Amino acid sequence: MHIRIVSDEDEQALTDLRSWLRRDPATRTLAVTPVSGTGPTMNALEALDIVLGHAVDIANFAIAYATWRSTRATGARTGARTLAHGGSANDIGDLTAEQLTELIRALEREAASREADDPDEDLAPS
């Protein structure tokens, strides 16, 4: 499953989160790719693309994210609060690890359901 954590105009929050995920033994093997902006924000860090391979990855990411949020200073609670997947964007800044895990699993089920409804979507001529 592929998710994106958006900067919410706080590049430093994404940098901190990426570093946190790299240091956490449970998440250091996750594929985390920085997404830089184009146009007027060229080279600015705008998002992190994260690939979660299975249920354990989802749970480990959710725990690491919730722990990272709780360690941030009160004034630094902006940025990296939006999880984007498919056409949805969700504010995850105040979710517990359990709530975040359930949200990601629900998004995964929704994506699987869409694929099951239209299995030939990728095969359609362009």
The model's pLDDT over 84-94, given as tens digits with 9 standing for 90+, comes to 998 899 999 99
Q: The whole model's pTM is what?
A: 0.84
d(CA 9, CA 38): 14
> To the nearest whole number, what is the mean pLDDT of the chain?
88
**Tokens in use for 22?**
């790299």
As a whole number of angstroms, the distance between CA 5 and CA 45 comes to 11
Cα 123 from Cα 22, distance rounded (Å): 37
pLDDT in tens, 89-121: 999 999 999 999 999 999 999 988 887 877 555
User: Which residues lie closer than 8 Å to 24 by C-beta, 6 or more apart?
Assistant: 60, 64
pLDDT for residue 39 is more than 70: no
Q: Find all residues with CB under 8 Å of 57, minimum gap 6, and list them.
A: 27, 30
Q: Collapsing DSSP states into helix, strand and coil, what is residue 76?
A: helix
Report the pLDDT value the prediction gives residue 6, as an integer from 0 to 100: 95
- Looking at the DSSP assignment, which residues form a beta bridge with residue 6? 47, 82
